[in-house]
């Protein structure tokens, strides 16, 4: 890849993460970017540098990891450190997910298998336990994505939560899911095993 192609990937991912209607995969990452415009950008060197350092597959993950850290997609905030930390996080995610489930179960009373749904219960004017835990940085965005992909709670939250912060959060969750390899059977098993251990 060259710098302009990296820039095109960056633009298409920026649209994916910030626009409800745009889907990176559906549109094949296409944008209307022009090379002449790219060459006039003061930060064009940044994209050229990335092109020499990463393969196409790694570039995609580099950009995704930075977009979920800086949802606005400001290039000056993108870094190799963010990507490295994200990769480490992905490698140990099953363990982190288990920790997140344990934390969430501490927020409800036993019997956990009966009260698990309380994590997703919405009431006017109040955030559900799941969302409060995420906003308090107690659980990860990946955990939020797994729960949405495997259990589906976003539509329910949409019907009750009017907080504008939720609008941005829901977009972040939904847009992140396609980039994760989520096996629902695996994570359901983790949930059930974690519940059994707490009994």
What are the residues whose beta carbons fall under 8 Å from the beta carbon of 35, sequence distance 6 or more?
A: 4
**Per the structure block, which two tokens stand in for 65?**
């990891």
| SS3 assignment, position 126 | strand
- Residue appearing with tokens 């336990």: 129
- Gap between the Cα atoms of 11 and 27, Å rounded: 12
Question: Do 31 and 15 meet the contact criterion of CB atoms below 8 Å apart?
Answer: yes
CA 115-116-119 angle, 5° bins:
105
Residue 11 CB: number of other CB atoms within 10 A? 17
Return averaged pLDDT per consecutive 10 residues of the chain, 199 residues in all: 95 95 92 92 94 96 95 87 96 96 96 94 92 98 98 96 94 97 96 91
Q: Output the pLDDT for position 5.
A: 95
- Gap between the Cα atoms of 65 and 71, Å rounded: 10
- Gap between the Cα atoms of 176 and 76, Å rounded: 21
Start-end of CATH 1.10.8.60 domains in the chain:
3-86
Q: Output the pLDDT for position 124.
A: 85
**CATH number for the domain formed by residue range(s) 92-198:** 1.10.220.50
- Residue appearing with tokens 């409060």: 132
- Gap between the Cα atoms of 129 and 25, Å rounded: 32
Residue (of 17, 21, 23, 7) closest to 72 by Cα position:
17
Q: Output the pLDDT for position 76.
A: 84
Q: Output the pLDDT for position 75.
A: 87
| SS3 assignment, position 32 | coil
Start-end of CATH 1.10.220.50 domains in the chain:
92-198
Fold of 3-86: Helicase, Ruva Protein; domain 3 (1.10.8)
**Per the structure block, which two tokens stand in for 32?**
């209307």
Size of the chain in residues = 199
């Amino acid at each position: 890849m060259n710098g302009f192609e990296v820039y095109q990937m960056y633009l298409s991912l920026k649209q994916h993460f910030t626009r409800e209607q745009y889907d990176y995969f559906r549109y094949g990452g296409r944008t209307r970017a022009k090379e002449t415009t790219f060459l006039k950008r003061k930060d064009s060197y940044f994209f050229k540098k990335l092109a020499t350092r990463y393969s196409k597959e790694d570039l995609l993950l580099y950009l995704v990891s930075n977009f979920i850290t800086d949802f606005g997609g400001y290039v000056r905030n993108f870094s190799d450190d963010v990507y490295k930390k994200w990769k480490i996080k992905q490698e140990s995610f099953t363990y982190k997910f288990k920790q997140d489930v344990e934390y969430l179960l501490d927020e409800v009373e036993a019997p956990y298998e009966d009260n698990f749904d309380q994590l997703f219960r919405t009431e006017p004017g109040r955030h559900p336990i799941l969302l409060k835990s995420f906003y308090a940085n107690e659980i990860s965005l990946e955990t939020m994505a797994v729960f949405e992909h495997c259990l589906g709670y976003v539509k329910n939250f949409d019907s009750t939560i009017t907080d504008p912060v939720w609008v941005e959060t829901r977009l972040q969750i939904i847009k992140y899911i396609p980039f994760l390899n989520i096996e629902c059977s695996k994570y359901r098993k983790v949930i059930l095993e974690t519940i059994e251990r707490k009994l």
